[in-house]
Amino acid sequence: MPNRGLLVAVALLAILAGGIYWSNQDEEKKVGAPAKDAPPKLLEIPEDQFVKIEIKRRDGTGAVLERQPSGWRLIAPKALPTDTRAVQTLVSALALVSSERLVDEKPGDLMQYGFASPQVEVAIYRKDGKKHKLLLGETSPLGTSVFARVDGDARLYTVPTATKAAVDKVWQDLRDRRLLTFYDAKLVRVELNGTEFVKADGRWSMTKPQAWRPDTFAVEELVRKMIEAKMEITPEDEELTFAAKFAASGAYAIARATDDKGTQQLDVRKDKEGNFYAKSTAVEGFFKLPAEAVDTFAKTAESFRSKKLFDFGFAEPSKVELKHDSTTWTFAKTGADWFSGGKKIEPGSVQQLVDRLRELAAVGFAAKGGGKPLADYSITLPGKAAEVVSVSQQGDAYFATRAGDPTVYSLDAKIVDELRQLAASAKPLP
Interval 295-353: pLDDT, tens: 999 999 999 999 999 999 999 999 999 999 999 999 999 999 999 999 999 999 999 99
Kindly indicate the confidence band of residue 169, based on its pLDDT and cuts at 50, 70 and 90. Answer: very high
What is the pLDDT at residue 4?
55
Q: Say what angle helices 347-359 and 413-425 make with each other, to 10 degrees.
A: 160
In the CATH hierarchy, which fold is given to the domain comprising 319-425? Immunoglobulin-like (2.60.40)
Q: CB pairs under 8 A, 24+ apart, for 243-250?
A: 243/285, 243/286, 245/271, 245/275, 245/277, 245/286, 246/277, 246/278, 246/279, 246/286, 249/275, 249/277
Report the C-alpha dihedral over residues 399, 322, 309, 335, rounded to 10 degrees.
180
In which residue ranges of the chain is CATH 2.60.40 found?
41-174, 319-425
Residue 25 predicted with pLDDT over 70: no
Q: How do 327-334 and 337-340 pair as beta strands?
A: antiparallel
The pTM score is 0.76
| Number of alpha carbons in the 13 Å side-chain half-sphere of residue 157 | 23
pLDDT, tens digit, 9 for 90 and up, residues 26-62: 544 444 444 555 678 999 999 999 999 999 999 999 9
pLDDT tens-place string over residues 270-282: 999 999 999 999 9
Class of domain 41-174: mainly beta
Return the ∠ at Cα 283 (arms to 280 and 288), rounded to 5°.
60
Share of the chain above pLDDT 70, in %: 91
Give the amino acid at 374. Answer: L
pLDDT of 3 above 70? no
Mean pLDDT, residues 263-289 = 96
